[in-house]
Every structure is written in C-alpha cells, then in structure tokens.
Amino acid sequence: MNIGVDIGGTNMRAGIELGGSITSQSNVLLENKDSLSSTLTQLMDLIRPYTKYPVKGIGIGVPSVVNVDKGIVYNVMNIPSWEEVALRDLVEKEFNLPVSINNDVNCFTLGEHRFGAAKKFRSVVGMAIGTGLGSGVIINNELYPGNNCGAGEIGMLPYRDSILENYVCNRFFEDTLGMDAFDAHEAAIKGDSKVIKIWEEFGGHLGVVIKTIMYTYDPEAIILGGSLTKAHKFFKSSMLDSLKDFAYPESIKRLTLLLSENENIALLGAAALMDQ
C-alpha cells in the first residue's frame, strides 16, 4: 500500500494504491502558484489524510525535469514558484515516510506497465498527448528515466518549422483552427469536414512521432494517453497510414498500439515508484 500523488499545472491529486487500484483519492485546485510556501502547504494538506493508513511510502509525479537520485524538481510546468525544489526532502521531513519522485509521464507509463494495458510487455513507450507531448520509457521491465529524467522527450526534436510537440498537442489545433482540441473534437463529432481534415493531418504528424520512437527505442508496445486520445477515431486511420513508409515494415507489424483507459493510471504509476 502506497500513496500516489499526481501534480499538474492546475491541480494536484492524491490517493491510496492497494492491489493495483486506487481505493481513495482527492484533489485540490492549485492556488497562488507564485508562492512556493502556499503551494507546498496545499500539497502537504492533500497528502496528510492518507498518511494515517499503513503505507510504505509516497510516490509523486511532477511535470518537470527531476533529479531522481536527490528528489529535486526543476522548473515545474505552470507553477512559477517551483524553479528548484528539494521536494523529496521536504515531504519526507513532513511525514517521516520514504518518498520517490519522477516525471509525470514516466509515472503514467509505469502505471500502464504495472497495472494497465501494457503490463504484459517488457518494453513500452507511453505517450501523453494534451497540452504538450510527453513520453516515458520502459526497457526490460524497468523505467528508464535517463540521466536527467529526460529520456523519451521525442516532442522536443526539430520538425518542419518548429518541434514535433507543436504538431502533436493542443497547440496544433489552436494554430490551425483557432480553437482548442476539445472544441475541435466536438466539431468533428458534428461532422465539420474542415475540422475532420485537420484531425487527419494531426494523425499524420502523430505517425511521425511513432516512427521516431520505433527508430530510437523499438519497443514491443506504444500506449497513447492524454486528453486528445478521446478523438482517436478521427485520427487513427491517418496515423496508421503514415506508418506505411517505415523502413522496417516487419517491425511495424509486430508493434502493438494501445489506448490508455484508466483515469487513475498516473496515480497508480506514482505509487509504483516506491516499488522500483
């Protein structure tokens, strides 16, 4: 039994992992994000009720670069006051429990590997597609964060006039349609042909990301998560079509593509950090 914590740019969630499920959870909207002390107080207050259970430790996923060995987080996305925070030491001191910290998409990927759709695979890359594009990597059943917790940041690679992320996240729809991906999904459902075409274009760009992952990691499976995957039916065909020119077609035939279906998978993955 572990506590899992998922920190986002607008809210934080915490819950208890027991037997591969989240048995209890709560969330809090982040307030006064320019104040380190205020946000840390919110975090501690969120975690505190769960420490009354006989937990082994606390795992925390953070949208940032993390010094995993020292438990320090840097430049946390959308929390300006978290430029450099020795988060592990602060939380351990507060609750006298062991704490492990990692990038949030690494936690998502670890959760899918330990408890979700990817648990039967030895090598997996998880992709979270939403406000940005993040990836986590499992190699030989172990999470591979890289030296700076930056392994799998495929979205930062140069692409066209920018980087891959800008073509495979919410920003793509804002730039091409002047609306966010949620509204673009709603418009596609209503049959807007212009918007449907943009989703198909999006699928082509996503296919480029998948091919890049295959050339660099060659995993058994890739699992897609994040808010944009809810529109999967509008980009699936073009995504698969874009894989047809992959240099090693037999590798694509053996690749398993999965969709994340557990809304608590990031919490489960954060909790699983304690068993790494």
Which domains can be identified in the chain, with CATH numbers?
Answer: 2-106+265-275 (3.30.420.40), 120-259 (3.30.420.40)
Inform me whether the pLDDT recorded for 144 exceeds 90.
yes
DSSP state of 125: E
Q: To the nearest 5 percent, what fractions of the chain are helix, strand and coil?
A: 45, 25, 30
Mean pLDDT throughout 71-88? 93
Q: How far is CA 149 from the centre of its chain?
A: 13
Q: Tell me, what's the pLDDT at 58? A: 98
What is the C-alpha separation between 265 and 201, in angstroms, rounded?
Answer: 28
Inform me whether the pLDDT recorded for 275 exceeds 90.
no
Mean pLDDT throughout 208-224? 97
Q: Is 34 left (phi over 0), alpha (psi -120 to 50) or beta?
A: alpha
What is the C-alpha separation between 87 and 95, in angstroms, rounded?
Answer: 12
Amino acid at 76: V
Q: How confident is the model at residue 148 (pLDDT cuts 50, 70, 90)?
A: confident
Inform me whether the pLDDT recorded for 97 exceeds 80.
yes
Q: Which residue has the tokens 């982040």?
A: 30
3-state secondary structure of 102: strand
Q: Tell me, what's the pLDDT at 186? A: 97
Q: How far is CA 27 from the centre of its chain?
A: 18
Q: Tell me, what's the pLDDT at 150? A: 85
What is the C-alpha separation between 65 and 63, in angstroms, rounded?
Answer: 7
What is the C-alpha separation between 48 and 35, in angstroms, rounded?
Answer: 20
Q: How confident is the model at residue 77 (pLDDT cuts 50, 70, 90)?
A: confident
3-state secondary structure of 81: coil
Q: Give percent of the chain above pLDDT 90.
A: 89
Q: What is the DSSP string of 151-162?
A: TT-GGGSEETTE
Tens of pLDDT, residue by residue over 101-120, are 999 999 999 999 999 999 99
Average pLDDT, the chain: 95
The pTM is what? Answer: 0.93
Q: Return phi, psi of residue 235, to 5°.
A: -125, -5
Q: How confident is the model at residue 202 (pLDDT cuts 50, 70, 90)?
A: very high
Inform me whether the pLDDT recorded for 147 exceeds 90.
no
Kindly report the length of the chain: 276
Q: Let me know: does 117 contact 261? Beta carbons within 8 Å.
A: yes
Q: Single out the residue of 267, 268, 207 nearest to residue 236, CA to CA.
A: 207
Work out whether the CA dihedral 76, 149, 46, 12 comes out positive or negative.
Answer: positive
Q: Give percent of the chain above pLDDT 70.
A: 100
